């Protein structure tokens, strides 16, 4: 077995399926992946305090486990009855809950799911007011610490995944700093989201704007002569290192949009997935990636899915080329070439915050797709065009 195939086989990859018990798990399995991330929403399960209904979650979890998939359950979003006040006047879902209520939900959810689910993410993107209108300190004291304690008490072998921060704006680094300074011992797996572009694909990424790597492991510094004119927020890895954190790191959301039928966007999406996978394979501290997301549901407001929900299609969905990349890469490692040696970027030079960092992606050499990746993507596009002409 080649090194590339061995590495890819060891990679843990999955898709966000939300609350789908059909298309989501089916597409994840068909793509050859092993994990689904589901929305085990508090507001759905406990609409009245103390009365729990996990029927919806059971359907999703049972569908996933029946297909041999592992589950990451996101425990988030405040029901109206538990809110301490809607300070932003945007509904209760992102409100700070009354003390003790979230921990009680975690206890009930984990007791119900622990025979089938090992991993639980404690909230989603709490550094964005859309999902959490409290402070970082309130997230730690009202959500993370009591939630993790309740989870470990209900299931000592289960794992707390947190804090699922979005790398939007500049506050994620300071938010993670608060979390690790006060509650690192509560976390088994550190998680975050990274949707930034790769510098090889977007000339500004890493130079005039933050790249995937800047948010991941080496923050951006812009200098003119000897003067620093801009310095971005620290990356996930830099904050982890500052606190001596040795927990594994998971990216639980990443991806780019591709409208079904747009062959240029579909090829870019497949290339992005390849870059993420190869970047992950050169970084032992980053062990799992769950892409966003499994499917588009027309009329979808966005197009991040690897397929499109289509009841008239044979499997219940129409594949985008990236599904073929995911499925075939494990069988044909040349489709995602062996990563470069650590310490050299895609051009063979030492990496930095404005380019490809040490151990960077091997999808390209000299700014162009590698032979195998280019050949594979061209074949996928040609195949898709033939299918549409026949249809």
Within-domain flag for 89 = yes
Within-domain flag for 337 = no
Please tell me the predicted confidence (pLDDT) of residue 200. Answer: 84
Within-domain flag for 378 = no
Within-domain flag for 372 = no
Please tell me the predicted confidence (pLDDT) of residue 10. Answer: 57
Within-domain flag for 315 = yes
Within-domain flag for 355 = no
Domain interval for residue 200: 3-331
Tokens of 212: 């995937």
Please tell me the predicted confidence (pLDDT) of residue 201. Answer: 84
In angstroms, the CA 365 to CA 179 distance is 38
Please tell me the predicted confidence (pLDDT) of residue 357. Answer: 47
* String of DSSP letters for 186-214: G-SEEEEE--PPPTTT-TTBTTTB--HHH
Within-domain flag for 97 = yes
Q: Residue 267: is it exposed, middle or buried by C-beta count within 10 angstroms (0-12/13-18/19+)?
A: buried
Query: How many structural domains compose the chain?
Result: 1
Please tell me the predicted confidence (pLDDT) of residue 386. Answer: 42
Note down pLDDT in tens along the chain; length 391 residues: 344 444 455 579 999 999 999 999 999 999 999 999 999 999 999 999 999 999 999 999 999 999 999 999 999 999 999 999 999 999 999 999 999 999 999 999 999 999 999 999 999 999 999 999 999 999 999 999 999 999 999 999 999 999 999 999 899 999 999 999 999 999 999 999 999 999 888 776 666 689 999 999 999 999 999 999 999 999 999 999 999 999 999 999 999 999 999 999 999 999 999 999 999 999 999 999 999 999 998 887 899 999 999 999 999 999 999 999 998 765 554 444 433 333 333 333 333 434 444 444 344 433 333 433 444 444 444 444 444 443 4
Within-domain flag for 365 = no
Tokens of 201: 């694909």
Please tell me the predicted confidence (pLDDT) of residue 204. Answer: 67
In angstroms, the CA 310 to CA 296 distance is 9
Please tell me the predicted confidence (pLDDT) of residue 239. Answer: 98
Three-state DSSP state, 270: helix
As a residue count, the chain comes to: 391
In angstroms, the CA 44 to CA 129 distance is 20
**Residue 328 CB neighbour total at 10 angstroms:** 17
- Specify the CATH number for the domain of residue 210: 3.20.20.80
Q: Look up the pTM and report it.
A: 0.86
Please tell me the predicted confidence (pLDDT) of residue 341. Answer: 37
């Amino acid at each position: 077995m080649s090194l590339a195939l061995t590495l890819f086989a060891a990679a843990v990859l999955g898709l966000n399926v939300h609350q789908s018990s059909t298309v989501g798990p089916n597409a994840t399995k068909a793509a050859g992946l092993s994990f689904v991330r589901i929305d085990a929403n508090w507001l759905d399960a406990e609409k009245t305090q103390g009365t729990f209904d996990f029927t919806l979650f059971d359907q999703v979890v049972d569908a996933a486990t029946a297909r041999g998939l592992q589950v990451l359950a996101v425990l988030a979003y405040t029901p109206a009855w538990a809110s301490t006040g809607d300070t932003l006047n945007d509904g209760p879902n992102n409100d700070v809950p009354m003390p003790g209520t979230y921990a009680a939900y975690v206890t009930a959810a984990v007791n119900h799911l622990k025979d089938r689910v090992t991993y639980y993410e404690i909230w989603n993107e709490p550094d964005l007011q859309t999902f959490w209108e409290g402070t970082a300190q309130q997230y730690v004291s009202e959500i993370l610490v009591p939630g993790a304690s309740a989870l470990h008490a209900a299931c000592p072998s289960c794992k707390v995944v947190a804090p699922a921060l979005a790398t939007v704006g500049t506050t994620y680094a300071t938010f993670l700093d608060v979390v690790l300074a006060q509650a690192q011992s509560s976390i088994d797996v550190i998680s975050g989201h990274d949707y930034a572009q790769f510098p090889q694909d977007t000339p500004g990424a890493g130079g005039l704007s933050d790249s995937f790597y800047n948010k991941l492991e080496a923050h951006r510094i812009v200098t003119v002569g000897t003067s620093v004119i801009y310095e971005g927020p620290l990356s996930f890895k830099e904050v982890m290192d500052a606190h001596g954190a040795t927990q594994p790191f998971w990216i639980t959301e990443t991806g780019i949009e591709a409208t079904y039928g747009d062959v240029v966007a579909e090829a870019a999406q497949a290339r992005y997935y390849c870059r993420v996978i190869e970047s992950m394979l050169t970084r032992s501290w980053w062990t799992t990636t769950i892409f966003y997301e499994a499917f588009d549901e027309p009329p979808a407001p966005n197009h991040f899915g690897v397929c499109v929900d289509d009841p008239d299609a044979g499997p219940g969905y129409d594949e985008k080329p990236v599904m073929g990349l995911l499925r075939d890469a494990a069988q044909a490692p040349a489709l995602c070439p062996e990563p470069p040696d650590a310490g050299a970027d895609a051009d063979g030079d030492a990496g930095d915050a404005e380019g490809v960092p040490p151990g960077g992606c091997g999808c390209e050499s000299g700014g162009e797709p590698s032979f195998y990746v280019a050949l594979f993507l061209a074949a996928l596009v040609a195949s898709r065009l033939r299918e549409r002409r026949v249809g």
